[in-house]
């Protein structure tokens, strides 16, 4: 049934769709082989290798067959029905996407690739082609830096200076248009580069490989580098030209591209209802009595809460994957107290690292479940006075061991949601000296450890690690609840990292350990919009920032008016994220319990009603949230929506504002189909300028707090006291609250 329903795909109907004219082309060019296959709707998959053919065991993050397309449930595998040595040009067509093989000068032979869209009027639009100026280096190059069969690959594609690039994972760069960026494919805290992007030309691209490397988006060339691999694998998909569309409908080319991408990389299940409410966390709740009292305090303040989080160092030893029984003597009782007082669930933190004094170290070491290094003693990092090694998430048996331990020590005791922190892979994901041995050494000028996993090396498969770590928890959830991957999520995890298709797991990605200053707040908005364009609808932040900026005296201090103002603005914005969450390491004049407070009533009597009001508004939007998450699940339609997604054609100014990465587009966005959010990102303001796009035939904008209306297509200034985040809507407020918005 699901497959039949997906045939009614956006942009084509069954009657007029052009079926692929080939099952695939095998192109032999000297020592190099290319396998080109139609893939899903309007897409092609290209695999390339020198000398040795792939084994079929290579790591891939895309479905074969995709969730949508004319495959009838049959995998493509390595199939093809045409062969060529490049002696003549060839053309393959899949839907509206044409792939041509051309020669050096454009007509001689056929060993360079180009991708064009076939438009409704019969004309063609070149989307991209392999970058091959006259007498230049080959757009596909291979080098062998070591003695083995793995090689380094560089693939280049043509670009134009006016092209805009959206996605690429998350970086702290204030940009949603990545044109001009050079992005290293190495994960670390707050930085999750992922080679998935959309172009304003109407195509999307997936560099389907786990290798570390680099992305470069130059004026005339887009370049991808894999540091170590045995196979190059990428996919290009296209969307119909929608330039004649005034966006009076709810579907843009970007919605189509997100649908195509999610058909390749995975659709998100719907989240459990509780997760759409308010999530309470701080660094950190340290024992059972503190968490139980916290729940009673929420009940006494009559403030709703849906999830309470127990953060790191709640264990006796690194890698025990259990709460310390000296501090948490009766976990099931604690879970019951919290649930009875508030209705909330619990979440507990785990790290992938294992110290040699852990209960699990000997077993993990004996079974080969710990990652090692290619030289030296095998330790991958240090923490809190101990050298540690990470468990090997790329090993299915190690993933099973992890989940079995979590299931025994947490799940059966009533804690069924997990925070998979430090999940970046390689080391603990931070370029800092973590062992506490020196006050002078803060940053170590070395590359990540040259880690060895069951699946390969850090250079060759390092980007797999966070994805596999998320997979470990998701597999555990599904086994524990006898549900399948497309069923609604029974529980959730929270991860500091991810990769291609992470949205298929019941896992939220958050922006990492950010600093508590205004500039960082502004950077998170653009980061979230890039996450959305990458396909990660499940995204959130530490409201208020995670840690103090040591150069700013008030940063992170809950007793200072400066930080209270920042926190209020950050918290208000968190109301309009896919998941509403607060967290952080706070400073204060008087410590409550063990660490400084971060609860709604911790920021002064004058601010508590405002914070509570936003929490209550979040619950009032429950039906709206449910609707947009359902649409994300079925179609891949983005929840956080950069303005270009909906207004590129109804308002010609939007494209220029996006190209310039102006604040009007990097710090404003649609939250679902009806709400426009523009968070305040500067101190000491009572008014805020917002660019309201022209909506075409969809009507005027209404300011949420005053019901004042605006035509759109202009910059407006609205009153923005601390209790009012700039929030606009179109249509009916009643429809929004009821969820009737599509």
Catalytic positions, please?
Answer: 421, 513
φ and ψ at 289, to 5 degrees? -65, -35
HEC-encoded secondary structure of 653-722? HHHHHHHCCCHHHHCCEEECCCEEECCCCCCCCCEEEEEECCCHHHCCEEECCCCCEECCCEEEEEECCC
Q: Catalogue the E-assigned strands of 137-231.
A: 140-143, 151-158, 165-170, 182-185, 192-199, 203-207, 213-217, 221-229
Tokens of 214: 């680099």
Give me the phi and psi of 256, to 5 degrees please: -65, -45
Report which of 1, 92, 91 is spatially closest to residue 39, judged by C-alpha positions: 92
Picking from 264, 282, 362, the residue whose alpha carbon sits closest to that of residue 317 is 362
Of 168, 152, 186, 172, the C-alpha closest to 425 is: 186
Radius of gyration in angstroms for the set of CA atoms belonging to the chain, rounded to a whole number = 26
Q: How far apart are CA 614 and CA 677, in angstroms?
A: 14
The reply to whether omega before 65 is within 30° of 0 (cis) is: yes
CA angle (401 as vertex; 397, 402 as ends), nearest 5: 120
Which residue's entry shows tokens 């501090």? 327
Look-up of token digits 């039906």: 623
Strands 345-350, 417-420: pairing kind: parallel
Rounded CA gap, 60 and 210, in Å? 8
Contact 684, 722 (CB under 8 A): no
Q: What distance in Å separates the CA atoms of residue 672 and residue 417, rounded to the nearest whole number?
A: 26
Pairing of strands 386-390, 640-642: unpaired
Nearest Cα neighbor of 229 from 79, 77, 112, 59 is 59
Taking residue 578's Cβ as centre, other Cβ atoms within 10 Å add up to 28
Residue 325 Cα to chain centre, angstroms: 35
Helices 561-574 and 518-534: crossing angle, nearest 10°?
20
């Amino acid at each position: 049934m699901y497959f039949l329903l997906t045939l009614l795909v956006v942009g084509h109907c069954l009657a007029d769709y052009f079926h692929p004219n080939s099952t695939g082309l095998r192109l032999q060019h000297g020592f190099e082989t290319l396998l080109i296959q139609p893939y899903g709707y309007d897409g092609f998959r290209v695999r390339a290798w020198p000398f040795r053919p792939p084994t079929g065991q290579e790591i891939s993050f895309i479905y074969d067959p995709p969730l949508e397309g004319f495959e009838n449930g049959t995998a493509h595998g390595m199939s093809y029905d045409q062969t060529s040595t490049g002696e003549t040009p060839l053309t393959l067509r899949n839907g509206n996407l044409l792939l041509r093989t051309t020669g050096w000068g454009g007509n001689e032979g056929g060993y360079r690739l180009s991708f064009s869209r076939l438009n409704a009027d019969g004309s063609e639009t070149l989307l991209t082609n392999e970058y091959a100026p006259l007498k230049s280096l080959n757009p596909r190059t291979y080098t062998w830096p070591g003695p083995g069969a793995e090689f380094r690959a560089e693939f280049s594609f043509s670009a134009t200076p006016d092209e805009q690039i959206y996605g690429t994972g998350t970086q702290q760069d204030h940009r949603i248009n990545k044109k001009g960026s050079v992005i290293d494919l190495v994960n670390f805290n707050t930085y999750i580069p992922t080679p998935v992007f959309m172009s304003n030309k109407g195509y999307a691209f997936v560099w389907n490989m786990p290798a570390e490397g680099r992305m470069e988006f130059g004026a005339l060339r887009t370049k991808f580098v894999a540091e170590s691999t045995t196979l190059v694998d990428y996919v290009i998909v296209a969307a119909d030209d929608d330039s004649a569309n005034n966006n009076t409908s709810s579907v843009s080319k970007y919605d189509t591209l997100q649908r195509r991408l999610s058909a390749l990389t995975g659709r998100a299940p719907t989240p459990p209802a509780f997760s759409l409410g308010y999530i309470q966390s701080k660094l950190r709740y340290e024992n059972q009595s503190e968490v139980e009292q916290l729940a009673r305090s929420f009940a006494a303040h009559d403030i709703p809460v849906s999830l309470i989080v127990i953060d790191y160092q709640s264990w006796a030893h690194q890698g025990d994957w259990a709460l310390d029984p000296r501090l948490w003597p009766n976990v099931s009782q604690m879970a019951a107290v919290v649930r009875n007082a508030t209705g909330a669930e619990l979440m507990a933190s785990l790290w992938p690292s294992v110290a040699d004094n852990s209960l699990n170290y000997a077993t993990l070491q004996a079974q080969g479940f710990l990652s090692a290094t290619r030289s030296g003693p095998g330790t991958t990092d240090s923490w809190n006075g101990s050298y540690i090694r990470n468990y090997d998430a790329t090993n299915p048996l190690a993933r099973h061991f992890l989940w079995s331990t979590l299931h025994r020590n947490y799940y059966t005791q009533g804690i069924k949601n997990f925070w998979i922190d430090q999940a970046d892979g390689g080391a603990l994901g931070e370029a800092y000296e973590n062992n506490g041995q020196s006050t002078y050494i803060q940053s170590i000028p070395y590359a990540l450890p040259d880690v060895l996993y069951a699946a390969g090396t850090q250079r060759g498969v390092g980007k797999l690690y966070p994805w596999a770590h998320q997979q470990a928890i998701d597999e555990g959830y599904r086994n524990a609840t006898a549900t399948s991957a497309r069923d609604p999520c029974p529980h959730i995890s929270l991860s500091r990292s991810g990769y291609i298709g992470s949205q298929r797991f019941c896992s939220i990605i958050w922006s990492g350990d950010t600093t508590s200053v205004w500039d960082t707040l502004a950077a998170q908005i653009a980061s979230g919009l890039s996450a959305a364009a990458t396909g990660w609808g499940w995204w959130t932040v530490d409201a208020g920032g995670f840690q103090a900026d040591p150069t700013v005296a008030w940063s992170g201090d809950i007793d200072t008016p400066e930080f209270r103002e920042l926190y209020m603005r950050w918290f208000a914005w968190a109301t309009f994220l896919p998941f509403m969450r607060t967290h952080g390491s706070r400073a204060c004049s008087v410590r409550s319990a063990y660490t400084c407070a971060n609860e709604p009533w911790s920021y002064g009597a004058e601010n508590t009603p405002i914070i509570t009001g936003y929490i209550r508004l979040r619950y009032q939007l429950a039906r709206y949230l449910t609707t947009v998450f359902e649409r994300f699940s079925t179609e891949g339609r983005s929840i956080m929506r950069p303005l270009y997604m909906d207004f590129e054609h109804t308002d010609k100014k939007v494209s220029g504002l996006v190209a310039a990465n102006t604040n009007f587009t990097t710090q404003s966005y649609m939250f679902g189909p009806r709400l426009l959010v523009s968070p305040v990102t500067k101190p000491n303001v009572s008014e805020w300028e917002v660019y309201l796009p022209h909506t075409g035939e969809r009507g005027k904008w209404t300011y949420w707090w005053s019901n004042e209306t605006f035509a759109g297509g202009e910059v407006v200034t609205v009153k923005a006291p601390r209790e009012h985040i700039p929030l606009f809507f179109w249509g009916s407020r009643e429809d929004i609250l009821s969820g009737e918005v599509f």
